Structure 1
Amino acid sequence: MTQHPAPSRRTVAKGALLGAAAVLFGPSAARAAEGTAALRLPAPTGPHRVGLRTFALTDTSRSDPWEPGAREVMISVLYPARTVRGFPRAPQLTPAEAREFAGLAPLVHPGLPAVGVDWGAVLTHGHVDAPPLPGRRPVLLYTPGGGDSRALGTTLAEDLASHGRVVVLVDHPGDASQVELPSGMRTTVLRGEPDPETFRTMIDTRVADLRLVLDRLGDLPLAPVMDLRRIGVYGHSAGGTAAVHALAGDDRITAGVNLEGYLDLDPDLVAGLDRPLLMFRTDGFASAARLERSWAGLPARRVLLTDAGHWVFSDYAHLVPRLQAAGLVTAGTRAALVGAGDTAATTALVRHGVRAFFDHRLRTPAPPARARRSPQ
């Protein structure tokens, strides 16, 4: 076994300075000092490398609720790749999205820095247009938290894809902080907590967006690697609400995961749910009483995450602690967003729980039993 000497104090100090430079001044400063990007997402844990393709979908039968015109939706599809050699890693946000998000971040999530972060420098582990691994695999749809773009669900999605799932991240323009569409950039209409009417519109629109995606999956170039008999849905916050509503109302979906979303919008619909559901919550959620009331009586398995905050289910679990280490986010902001605990450990629990649930609920259907011959 090769022995590696412990780093000297000088090496450790140098590494810390390079990491801070990457956050504060972007990739140019990091490169100038041999630097390492400080804003990183954790690698997926599965045996497969991950491919990524992005598609724009238009529903000409439906008007967009937030601005005039037909409804447009962006999706990213993550999947096990046959090879990733020669296929670049995708940035978490496009350059245009990163510029928009730099100004929107402190509005969407108070306490995030208004300046000093190169959001466009964050790379995913998805390789653009990498060829998929042959074989049909279960499909999981993801809908993000209110005000968030689909890109902030990258970490969990990549992990699921690396373990042999096809994961579809769905953006909801007008609700999401920013989405770059073929027709142009869309930014969020949300400012603070949505009122009941706005929340109703958000959830109805998200459920319709999920139905659109389900309708179009069979037409995508990646359809040959999707097993459309095995479909699950999961979502965070408002996305959790939408995921459960979609699960209850669409027979194509077999099972769902709710990552701390309210379920009091349509109590009768939710009460009649007869499909497998897993629900996560944190002990740091500010509206825990409403959440618990809305979950009362549901026959679903529940998991409580301790020392955790509401946005720990998203990529903020990894980005916010790094921003705090660079002095760009306070301890109070960190606690409010993702909790004061070990976010890496919490992420590992969520990854394992969601993966195990869908592994169990979306197992390959058994082949039909062969008829026995009657004795002669």
Structure 2
Amino acid sequence: MPSHVPFRKWLKILAKIFLGLLLILVLIIASGIAFIAVRSHQTVMLPTPTGPYAVGRMEYDWTDQSREDSLAPRPGTKRELVVWAWYPAVRPTGAQTAPYLPPKWGDLNDQQHSAAFGLKIVQSYDSIQTHSFAHAQLATNEARYPVLIFEPGMGNIPAQYTTLIEDLASHGYIIFAINPTYSANMIVFPDGRVAEATNAGKPGDNDNLEVKGNKIVSVWARDVIFTMNQLEHLNATAGNMWSQHLDLTRLGIFGHSFGGATSAQVCHMDTRCKAGIDLDGTLLGDVLQTGLTKPFMVIQSEENPCDADCHTFQQGVQAILRTVPAGEAYHLNIKDTRHFNFSDYAAYFSPLRLLDMLGPIDGVRGLQITRAYVRAFFDKYLNNTPSPLLQGPTSAYPEVQFFKP
């Protein structure tokens, strides 16, 4: 019996060690939960626009009666789009800025990004402050303003690129940004209806990305062309804010990821596109076979490591850009960025950095660089304003690397 005493003591020691480690683990988890809960609700002000104009924002609900929606869950559904506009505005006296997302949009997006017990794993949308004023009056400094059309990345909505879009609007651009119905994770129509992503609207893990991607980019490209048609109608119709103020001879298209691929496809399909930008998007559609005849810029993140798919992508980009008229093609990347550094995720609390979907660059710095080069490109090709940023590397932005098309 006495010989068992040391063994029992050893068991007690092991039990105490186990309980101590368990307590430490519980404390670490509790501290992590507490940090996320506090951090996700702290007020975040998006980076300030750098232009002279205040920024207005409004929403449209447009239905293309000529087109059945192949992405919709019910056959025969007409293609319906929520389109947001950001524009140079007259600053309203005493007005508060618009919420990052309207209440129902924000609530549903928060729910989609909640873990157990309602814990937010990204920034709560009601804690993000914009610089836009809802339904503000269009600034009258210019008779006509250049127009941009924007498409977000797959699953995203344009509001998640507010930092980039507000800056362009503050410099005198009118931006119409499309929410891609049934491809965005969720959108809310003005009457309260909700449309979630469908299997037809998003590539799945078992899908052939090229085949399905080509189908979806065809739908998105027609969304942009439909939006162009709507803008022509608004511009020609008296009695609305845009009447004769949209300079559709100076129209550019840009987008992130899948939206970037869409911009290239539209610039191939429609001569109304005068210039386009692809922010870190894999090119799709028959533009790969036909090439481009319009000024075009590709801005990439710095993937690490750059595997075989990355090299294939680089070759595809180079092949497309070599079809662009001489001197009008631009291919660059931004050091220490990843795919989502082009979105507002870089400016607020998000776990994407832990997943290597946000790079080690300071998020606001990365967005500052993106804003500078996007505006420099459109300034040159829509406003005839040259920029030294497009001539090659600069000490102001050493993170930017140029590739020769």
TM-score, with structure 2 as normaliser:
0.73
- Alpha-carbon distance in 1 for matches of 2:67, 2:333: 38
Per the TM alignment, residue 120 of structure 1 is displaced from its structure 2 partner at its CA by: 2.9
- Alpha-carbon distance in 1 for matches of 2:353, 2:134: 36
CA contact (8 A) 1:20 1:38 kept: no
Counterpart residue number, 1:31 = none
CA contact (8 A) 2:218 2:285 kept: no
**2:68 maps to 1:46:** no
Per the TM alignment, residue 79 of structure 1 is displaced from its structure 2 partner at its CA by: 0.9
1:292-329 deviation digits (Å, cap 9, x = unpaired):
1221222321111110000111111112xx34xxxxx3
Counterpart residue number, 2:158 = 150
Counterpart residue number, 2:10 = none
Spell out the pairing of 1:1-376 with structure 2 (5 A cutoff). 23-24=39-40, 26=41, 37-67=42-72, 68=74, 69-105=77-113, 115=121, 117-134=123-140, 135=142, 136-182=144-190, 184-189=193-198, 190=202, 195-196=208-209, 197-220=211-234, 221-224=240-243, 225-271=245-291, 273-284=292-303, 287-297=309-319, 298-299=321-322, 300-319=329-348, 322-323=349-350, 329=351, 331-333=353-355, 336-363=356-383
Q: Residue type matched to 2:186 in 1?
A: Q
1:236-272 deviation digits (Å, cap 9, x = unpaired):
100000010001110111000110111243255552x
- Alpha-carbon distance in 2 for matches of 1:264, 1:21: 40
- Alpha-carbon distance in 1 for matches of 2:98, 2:171: 19
Q: Residue type matched to 1:306 in 2?
A: K
Q: 1:259 to 1:82 in 2, by over 3 A?
A: same
Q: Residue type matched to 1:244 in 2?
A: A
Q: Residue type matched to 1:122 in 2?
A: I
**What is the DSSP-based 3-state SS (H/G/I as helix, E as strand, rest coil) of the residue aligned with 1:362?**
helix
Say what the alpha-carbon RMSD is for the aligned residues: 2.5
Q: Residue type matched to 1:282 in 2?
A: S
1:207-230 deviation digits (Å, cap 9, x = unpaired):
011011100013333323211111
Counterpart residue number, 1:30 = none
- Alpha-carbon distance in 1 for matches of 2:227, 2:352: 39
- Alpha-carbon distance in 2 for matches of 1:129, 1:146: 28
Per the TM alignment, residue 161 of structure 1 is displaced from its structure 2 partner at its CA by: 0.4
- Alpha-carbon distance in 2 for matches of 1:106, 1:200: 32
- Alpha-carbon distance in 2 for matches of 1:302, 1:362: 19
CA contact (8 A) 1:45 1:159 kept: yes
Q: Which runs of 5+ in 2 are unaligned?
A: 1-34, 235-239, 323-328, 386-405
- Alpha-carbon distance in 2 for matches of 1:204, 1:191: 14
Counterpart residue number, 1:326 = none
TM-score, with structure 1 as normaliser:
0.79
Per the TM alignment, residue 75 of structure 1 is displaced from its structure 2 partner at its CA by: 0.9
**Share of identical aligned residues, percent?**
28
**What is the DSSP-based 3-state SS (H/G/I as helix, E as strand, rest coil) of the residue aligned with 1:147?**
coil
The size of the alignment, in residue pairs, is 322
- Alpha-carbon distance in 2 for matches of 1:45, 1:332: 30
- Alpha-carbon distance in 1 for matches of 2:170, 2:69: 34
1:175-229 deviation digits (Å, cap 9, x = unpaired):
0121111351111224755643432232111101101110001333332321111
- Alpha-carbon distance in 2 for matches of 1:195, 1:84: 50
CA contact (8 A) 1:237 1:262 kept: yes
CA contact (8 A) 1:137 1:226 kept: yes
- Alpha-carbon distance in 2 for matches of 1:127, 1:296: 40
- Alpha-carbon distance in 1 for matches of 2:93, 2:87: 15
CA contact (8 A) 1:87 1:128 kept: no
- Alpha-carbon distance in 2 for matches of 1:204, 1:70: 16
> Whose Rg is larger?
2
CA contact (8 A) 1:87 1:129 kept: no
Deviates further, 80-89 or 150-159: 80-89
- Alpha-carbon distance in 2 for matches of 1:165, 1:62: 29
CA contact (8 A) 1:58 1:72 kept: yes
Q: Residue type matched to 1:179 in 2?
A: I
Deviates further, 229-238 or 212-221: 212-221
Q: Which runs of 5+ in 1 are unaligned?
A: 1-18, 27-36, 108-112, 324-328, 366-376
**What is the DSSP-based 3-state SS (H/G/I as helix, E as strand, rest coil) of the residue aligned with 1:223?**
coil
Q: Residue type matched to 1:291 in 2?
A: F
Counterpart residue number, 1:8 = none
**What is the DSSP-based 3-state SS (H/G/I as helix, E as strand, rest coil) of the residue aligned with 2:172?**
coil
